[in-house]
Amino acid sequence: MKSVNIQDIAREAGVGKATVSRVINGKGYVSRETAAKVKAVMERYHYQPSALARSLSRQESDAIGLIIPEANNPFFSGLLTGVSEVMDKCGYTLILRTSGNDIQRDFKALEAMRYQRVKGLIYVPACNYEDEREFAQMASRLADLGGPYVVLDRPVTKLECDCVLSDNFSGAYSATEALIQAGHREIGVIAGNMQLLIGRERLEGYRKAMEQNGLAAREEYMLTGIFGQQEAYRRTKALLSSPTRPTAFFIANNRSEIGFLNAMRDLGLSIPQDAAFVGFDELPGQLVFGLPYSSLDREVTLLGAKAAQLLIRRFDEPARSPQRLIIVPRLSLRGSERYFEKEA
């Protein structure tokens, strides 16, 4: 890591380190000629100051941390993209860690961020930390950071802080209602991880919509606690093969959607004639061009960007009251929700 340092530049330019520092940062008094001379030397030696030394000296780094559960999921990589773009633009350095939805790794990630003395953190927690003990451990690490943080996507109820969230309940509600209004009466739901608040909120939105429209949410039509695409595939296939089945589904997440689509295909069923659906989040390939599937769309990149902006703004106004941005997903009906009378 040995490279030319500020001392070398100062010596070569025949000035003091302080002067070089002033030239670099463009503040304080430096004469035109001195500045030019120093700049020439810096240029010649490809000099670049060390963020390490600078941060140490200034007692403030320009690194910001981002913790997400996984990078391989289009939703999270969308968030990442949004965050990354804003940070690049604003001259911050992004330090990334993934938790794999694992609490211990989540703790490790928080510790790593502290170790690196990040100026701020954007945090998609591994879970909602509803367990008292785990929450305390997490909160302690978060506090130790010593800097501001923004919680993204997964709310942690007991935490009073900036956050950017989605309105999962109303999203699920409106999706379900759309199916009802299309004419469906027998509506199933494919819901994800019930450990996660967002999972329960989405299920609750479905339930409420059914109830308020006087429809029964039949237990056997509710596939909950679905982890991943494969499980969604199996459970959906089983349900679709049974003698009575829903005419439509609200599918609460991306991966389940793919599982569902595979199941439909393998059973030779078509959408929406044999089973209609509305999904949560667009499918990956849909982003640019759009398959004609109906879904609750979130501008994922924007979510990440908002979180980044919130954090940066917080740097300037540490005392501002905590902000809660709650984005309502937009329902886009593209046809897959339509109702077809059953042929007798």
Partner DNA sequence: CGATATTCTAGAACCGTTTTCATATGGGAG
Partner DNA sequence: CTCCCATATGAAAACGGTTCTAGAATATCG
Q: Is 2 in the site for a second copy (CB under 8 A)?
A: yes
**Please, which residues have CB within 8 angstroms of residue 32's CB and are 6 or more apart in sequence?**
none
Cβ–Cβ under 8 Å, residues 138 and 107: yes
Q: Is 258 in the site for a second copy (CB under 8 A)?
A: yes
Q: Is 253 in the site for a second copy (CB under 8 A)?
A: no
Residue 19 interacting entry, from a second copy, DNA, none, C-beta within 5 to 8 Å by type: DNA
**Could you say which residues in the range 219-248 bind a second copy, by CB under 8 A?**
228-230, 233
Taking the least distance from each CB to a second copy, the nearer of 85 and 274 is: 85
Taking the least distance from each CB to DNA, the nearer of 35 and 267 is: 35
Taking the least distance from each CB to a second copy, the nearer of 98 and 193 is: 98
Strands 294-297 and 330-332: antiparallel
Q: What whole-number distance in Å separates Cα of residue 279 and Cα of residue 256?
A: 9
Cβ–Cβ under 8 Å, residues 59 and 265: no
Can you read off the two tokens belonging to residue 42?
A: 């810096």
CB burial of residue 102 (10 Å; 0-12, 13-18, 19+): middle
Taking the least distance from each CB to a second copy, the nearer of 42 and 197 is: 42
Q: How many CB atoms lie within 10 A of CB 161?
A: 15
Q: Which residues of 133-158 are buried (b: 16+ CB within 10 A; e: fewer)?
A: ebbebbeebbeebebbbbbbbbbbee
Residue 5 interacting entry, from a second copy, DNA, none, C-beta within 5 to 8 Å by type: DNA
Strands 276-280 and 330-332: unpaired
Can you read off the two tokens belonging to residue 287?
A: 């982003």
| Rounded least distance, CB 135 to a second copy, Å | 17
**Could you say which residues in the range 17-36 bind DNA, by CB under 7 A?**
17-22, 24-25, 27-35
Binding residues for a second copy, rule CB under 8 A, total 63
Stretch that binds a second copy, among 67-75, 158-166, 268-276, 331-339 (CB under 8 A): 67-75
Q: Is 137 in the site for a second copy (CB under 8 A)?
A: no
Cβ–Cβ under 8 Å, residues 13 and 41: yes
Q: Name the residues that contact DNA, by CB under 7 A.
A: 2-3, 5-7, 14-22, 24-25, 27-35, 48-50, 52-54, 56-59
Q: Name the residues that contact a second copy, by CB under 8 A.
A: 1-3, 46, 48-53, 55-56, 59-61, 63, 70-72, 74, 77-78, 80-81, 84-85, 88, 93-98, 105, 108, 111-112, 114-117, 119, 140, 144, 146-147, 228-230, 233, 255, 258-259, 261-262, 265, 283-285, 288-289, 291, 301
